[in-house]
């Protein structure tokens, strides 16, 4: 009986423990408390994943993102509200400050209520653009749900997104179709490397304002795959801003709804997509953690590696030029409940830079071994023929993964006077060594013969006479 | 060497006459003073032979020994330099010390030759041959010490 109890306790602990890597306090801002029911399944899923949810309205007195200058919540879910403004507690600046303190924001927009000005300016700040018309929405005359939107074609049915490139990890893949009703399309600025599309509109979609009476849409906001239905911005401090064009997609009504796509009956898989999207947005997936960075002299008897996980890094402070050095870095990826060994996406590499101002070496790190929850990547190389202050630097910034930026500083000294190879070890010098010793030997012989051939006194006098 | 020790005035006059007939000038002046009969023909082989014979005949044993040693040093230096040109100067300190060992030894030997040549006796009255030789030995020791250290 007792083991059963402890087993249950362990299971419960595991369920509760399943939570975000950065914290579990989630603030949900919505129009009024009664709206909570509409998102009940989604919020219930979040709660079961370990989030502590606080639901507040923009008008609420106690609404504040910060407490005593620190973040009061770890994550923010902003559902659409009817009012134009969000009040003094949710200005664009405060939302940005929240992100500067590594808070994650999931923004859900809606074409029906329009986008509050605070959110508009926040999106402008991060170079995500939404239509200026309040009610503009995305329609598609090919991929619409003919059950619920036979006339308006504004409920899009889309497959799960695939990674845009082969070297990006897939966090949003799945089976089935996602219903995206009445979405606000976004376009992403070209300049920012921090932006990434999650769900693009199909090539037949376009954005238009249903209030517009004209028969033909002239100069639409954006068309085709320029339009993003879900997009993401991950800042350099790894805070995540996720913009979901359609808040309705998170509602209970669309979580497992029967729909018809091109005459075929399908069932929407919004619940799965919402879970994947929110777990990425709230840092349950795609979080990298760097363990120990070690580097050591990889030469002869002085080769020693601190492989103990208990000991601190304890790396050498100084190397000599032309030393053989090995480097290792331990990287884990957090996947919703625990740290797992990080596996690079195919076609991607983790690189080490050995740099003084500019990199002298840029080397590919290859996975050497795996522990229970980390992969150890390593590379060995020879320090360049240049003394100075160098850095072992690993930088790895990829879409949908939190960035790695690690640096370890070392001194690289020049040869000490007794570390140069002796002359006889260099075969090219043998001739000149021989030159010296032949000269010395010749000199010894000369001295001997000189002393032996000393002229007798008479000879010297004779020599004098001749002159 | 022969004309030099006559007297200072003669040396000066002979050096002044050199520009007019550079190759033949020393020969007649020396031969006319000592042996008028031997310098009859002026072709190159005779001149060289004459110089060589005179050198063998008149140079003291020790000066000949010095000249041999200096010739040996020149050969060693040239060989090292050729090797440097052909193979490259990679351990440059090795080349420097090997080459300068011969050059330095040559200079020291030349000094010893000047100081001990009986024909220069008038200029080195107060330096005995033993003193000159001791200087030479000390200088050579220093040179070898430096070269061996520098080649590492």
ipTM of the prediction = 0.74
CA distances from A54 to A30, A77, A103, A246 (A): 11, 10, 15, 22
Examine the domain organization and report whether B105 and B49 are in the same domain: no
Residue A62 C-beta-side C-alpha neighbours within 13 Å: 7
Q: Are residues A300 and A209 in the same domain?
A: no
For residue A2, pLDDT beyond 80: no
Q: Which residues pair with A358 in a beta bridge?
A: A356
Q: A281, A305, A327 — which closes off a domain?
A: A281
Domain boundary among B43, B58, B73: B58
A239-248, A383-392, B14-23: segment of lowest average pLDDT: B14-23
**Res. B1: pLDDT tops 90:** no
In terms of domains, do B71 and B123 share one? yes
Are A80 and A207 within one domain? Answer: yes
* Mean pLDDT score across all residues of chain A: 87
What the block records as the tokens of B7 is 């007297």
- Give A146 or A215, the one with higher predicted confidence: A146
pLDDT at A303: 61
Same domain as A312, residue A266: no
Does B66 lie in the same domain as B27? no
Largest CA distance in chain B: 59
Question: Is the pLDDT at A373 greater than 80, yes or no?
Answer: yes
The DSSP secondary-structure symbol of A253 reads G
- pLDDT on residue A222: 87
The answer to whether B62 faces chain A, any CB pair under 8 Å, is yes
Residues of B in contact with A438 (CB under 8 A): 76
Q: If 0-12 CB within 10 Å is exposed, 13-18 middle and 19+ buried, where does residue A403 land?
A: middle
Task: Answer whether A260's CB lies under 8 Å from A150's CB.
Answer: no
Give the model's confidence band at A314: pLDDT under 50 very low, under 70 low, under 90 confident, else very high.
Answer: confident
In terms of domains, do B46 and B76 share one? no
Pairing assessment for the beta strands A187-188 and A128-129 based on DSSP bridges: antiparallel
Residue span of the structural domain in which B98 resides: 61-151
- pLDDT of amino acid A462: 40
Residue from A439, A447, A452, A458 to probe the interface with B (highest B Cβ count within 10 Å): A439
Residues of chain A contacting residue B94, judged by C-beta atoms under 8 Å apart: 423, 426, 428-429, 432-433
The answer as to whether A308 is a domain residue is: yes
Q: Is B144 on the interface with A (CB under 8 A)?
A: yes
Q: Does B60 touch chain A (CB under 8 A)?
A: yes
Contact B80 A433 (CB under 8 A): no
Show which of residues 30-59 on chain B sit within 8 Å of chain A, judged by CB atoms: none
Mapping DSSP to helix (H, G, I), strand (E, B) and coil, where does residue A292 land?
strand
Res. B76: pLDDT tops 50: yes
Please check the confidence at residue A436 and state whether its pLDDT lies above 80: yes
Residue A11 lies inside a defined structural domain of this protein? no
φ, ψ at A187 (rounded to 5°): -115, 150
Q: Which of A436, A442, A467 sits opposite B98 (nearest CB)?
A: A436
Indicate if B83 and B126 belong to the same structural domain.
yes
Q: In terms of domains, do A197 and A275 share one?
A: yes
DSSP state, A364?
E
Q: Quick count: other Cβ atoms within 10 Å of Cβ A32?
A: 12
Last residue within a domain, chosen from B58, B76, B99 = B58
Task: Kindly report the number of other CB atoms within 10 A of residue A407's CB atom.
Answer: 12
Looking at the structure, do residues B68 and B106 belong to the same domain, yes or no? Answer: yes
The model's confidence at residue A466, banded by pLDDT at 50, 70 and 90, is very low
Distance CA A369, CA A24 (A): 32
Q: Flag whether A151 is in a domain.
A: yes
Token digits of residue A396:
């790895």
| CA A406 to chain CA centroid, nearest Å | 12
Please report whether residue A146 resides in a domain: yes
What is the torsional sign of CA B92, B95, B98, B99? Answer: negative
Q: Which of B62, B72, B80 sits opposite A455 (nearest CB)?
A: B62
Asked if B90 and B50 sit in the same domain, the reply is no
- From chain A, pick out residues whose CB is under 8 angstroms from the CB of B65: 446, 449-450, 453
Residue A154 in any domain: the answer is: yes
Give dist(CA A195, CA A347) in Å, integer.
Answer: 21
Q: Is B87 on the interface with A (CB under 8 A)?
A: yes
A96 and A213 housed in the same domain: yes
CATH number of the domain encompassing residue A406: 2.60.40.10
Q: Are residues A253 and A374 in the same domain?
A: no
A:B CB pairs within 8 Å: 93
Under 8 Å between Cβ of A396 and A288: yes
How far apart CA A227 and CA A185 sit, in angstroms, is: 5
Of A428, A435, A455, the CB nearest to B76: A435
Residues 6 or more apart whose Cβ sits within 8 Å of residue A366: A377, A378, A379
Q: Give A214-263 pLDDT, tens digit per residue.
A: 777 777 888 888 899 999 999 999 999 999 999 999 999 888 888 888 78
What number of other Cβ atoms are within 10 A of residue A287's Cβ? 20
pLDDT at residue A319 greater than cutoff 90: yes
Structural domain count of chain A: 3
Q: B88 and A467 in contact by Cβ < 8 A? A: no
Q: Are residues A294 and A276 part of one domain?
A: no
Domain termination residue (choose one: A215, A248, A281): A281
Does A70 lie in the same domain as A205?
A: yes
| Same domain for B74 and B119 | yes
Do B76 and B138 sit in the same domain of this protein? yes
Structural contact between residues A139 and A154, judged by C-beta atoms closer than 8 angstroms = yes
How does DSSP assign A62-122, residue by residue? T--SEETTEES-SEEEE---SSS---GGG-HHHHHHHHHTT-EEEEE--TTT---HHHHHH
pLDDT at residue B72 is higher than 90? yes
**Where in the sequence is the domain holding A437, given as residue range(s)?**
423-466
Residue in the block written with tokens 């200079």? B107
Question: Per the CB < 8 Å rule, is A450 touching B133?
Answer: yes
More confident residue, A163 or B20: A163
Residue with tokens 């000879």: A459
Of A413, A440, A458, the last residue of a domain is: A413
Average pLDDT of span B115-122: 89
Same domain, A276 and A311: no
Residues A390, A330 share a domain? yes
**Chain B: nearest CA to A446, how far in angstroms?**
7
Q: Is the pLDDT of residue B31 over 80?
A: no
Report how many domains make up chain B: 2
Residue A301: inside a domain: yes
Question: For residue A425, what is the DSSP state?
Answer: G
Residue A80 tokens, joined: 């659409």
Q: Does one domain contain both B67 and B87?
A: yes
- pLDDT tens, A281-290? 999 999 999 9
Same domain, A74 and A193: yes
Confidence band for B6, pLDDT divided at 50, 70 and 90:
very low
Q: Which chain B residues are closer than 8 Å to A426 by Cβ?
A: 90-91, 94
Closest CA to B63 of A387, A455, A275: A455
Residues of B whose CB is below 8 A from A455: 60-62
Q: Is A434 exposed, middle or buried (0-12, 13-18, 19+ CB in 10 A)?
A: middle
Greater confidence (B86 vs A466) lies with B86
Task: Report pLDDT digits (tens) over A7-62.
Answer: 555 555 544 455 788 888 999 998 888 888 889 999 999 999 999 999 999 888 88
Using the CB atoms, write b or e for B19-37: b if 16+ within 10 Å.
Answer: eeeeeebbbebbbeeeeee
pLDDT reported for residue A104: 94
Q: Based on the domain organization, do B18 and B44 belong to the same domain?
A: yes
Q: pLDDT over 90 for what percent of chain A?
A: 55
Say whether pLDDT at A463 is over 50: no
Pair (A381, A435) in one structural domain: no
């Amino acid at each position: 009986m007792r083991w059963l109890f402890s087993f249950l306790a362990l299971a419960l602990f595991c369920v509760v423990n399943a939570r975000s890597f950065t914290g579990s306090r989630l603030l949900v801002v919505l129009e009024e408390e009664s709206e909570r029911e509409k998102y009940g399944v989604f919020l219930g899923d979040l709660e079961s994943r370990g989030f502590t949810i606080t639901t507040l309205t923009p008008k609420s007195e106690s609404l504040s993102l910060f407490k005593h200058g620190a973040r009061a919540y770890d994550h923010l879910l902003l559902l659409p509200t009817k009012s134009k403004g969000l009040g003094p507690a949710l200005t664009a600046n405060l939302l940005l400050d929240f992100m500067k303190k590594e808070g994650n924001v999931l923004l859900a927009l809606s074409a029906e209520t329009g986008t509050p000005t605070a959110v508009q300016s926040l999106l402008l700040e991060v170079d995500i653009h939404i239509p200026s018309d309040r009610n503009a929405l995305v329609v598609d005359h090919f991929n619409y749900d003919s059950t619920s939107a036979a006339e308006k074609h504004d409920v899009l049915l889309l497959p799960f997104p695939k990674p845009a490139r082969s070297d990006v990890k897939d966090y949003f893949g799945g089976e089935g179709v996602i219903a995206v009703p009445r979405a606000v399309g976004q376009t992403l600025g070209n300049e920012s490397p921090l932006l990434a599309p999650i769900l693009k509109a199909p090539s037949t979609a376009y954005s238009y304002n249903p209030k517009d009476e004209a028969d033909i849409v002239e100069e639409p906001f954006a068309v085709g795959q320029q339009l993003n239905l879900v997009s993401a911005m991950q800042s350099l401090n790894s805070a995540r801003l996720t913009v979901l064009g359609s808040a309705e997609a998170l509602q209970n009504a669309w979580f497992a709804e029967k729909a018809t796509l091109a005459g075929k009956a399908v069932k929407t898989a919004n619940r799965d997509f919402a879970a994947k999207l929110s777990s990425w947005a709230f840092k349950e997936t795609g979080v990298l953690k760097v363990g120990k960075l070690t580097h050591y002299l990889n030469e002869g008897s002085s080769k020693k590696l601190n492989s103990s996980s208990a000991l601190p890094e304890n790396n050498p402070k100084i190397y000599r030029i032309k030393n053989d050095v090995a480097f290792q870095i331990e990287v884990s990826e957090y996947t919703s409940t625990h740290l797992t060994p990080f596996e690079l996406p195919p076609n991607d590499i983790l690189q080490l830079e050995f740099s003084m101002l500019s990199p002298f070496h840029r080397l590919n790190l290859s996975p050497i071994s795996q522990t229970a929850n980390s992969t150890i990547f390593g590379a060995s190389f020879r320090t360049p023929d240049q003394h100075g202050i160098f850095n072992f630097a690993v930088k790895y910034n990829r879409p949908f993964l939190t960035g790695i930026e690690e640096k370890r500083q070392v001194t690289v000294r020049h040869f000490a006077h007794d570390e140069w190879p002796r002359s006889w070890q260099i075969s090219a010098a043998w001739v000149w060594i021989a030159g010296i010793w032949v000269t010395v030997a010749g000199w010894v012989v000369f001295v001997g013969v000189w002393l032996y051939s000393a002229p007798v006194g008479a000879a010297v006098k004779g020599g004098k006479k001749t002159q | 060497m022969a004309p030099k020790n006559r007297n200072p005035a003669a040396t000066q006059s002979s050096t002044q006459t050199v520009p007019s007939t550079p190759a033949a000038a020393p020969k007649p002046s020396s031969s006319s003073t000592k042996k008028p009969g031997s310098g009859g023909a002026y072709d190159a082989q005779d001149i060289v032979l004459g110089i060589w014979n005179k050198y063998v005949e008149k140079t003291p044993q020790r000066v000949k020994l010095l000249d041999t040693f200096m010739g040996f040093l020149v050969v060693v230096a040239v060989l090292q330099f050729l090797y440097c040109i052909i193979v490259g100067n990679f351990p440059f300190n090795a080349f420097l010390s090997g080459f300068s060992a011969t050059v330095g030894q040559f200079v020291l030997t030349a000094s010893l030759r000047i100081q001990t040549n009986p024909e220069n006796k008038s200029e080195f009255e107060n330096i005995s041959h033993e003193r000159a030789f001791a200087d030479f030995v000390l200088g050579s020791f220093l040179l070898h010490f430096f070269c061996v250290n520098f080649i590492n």
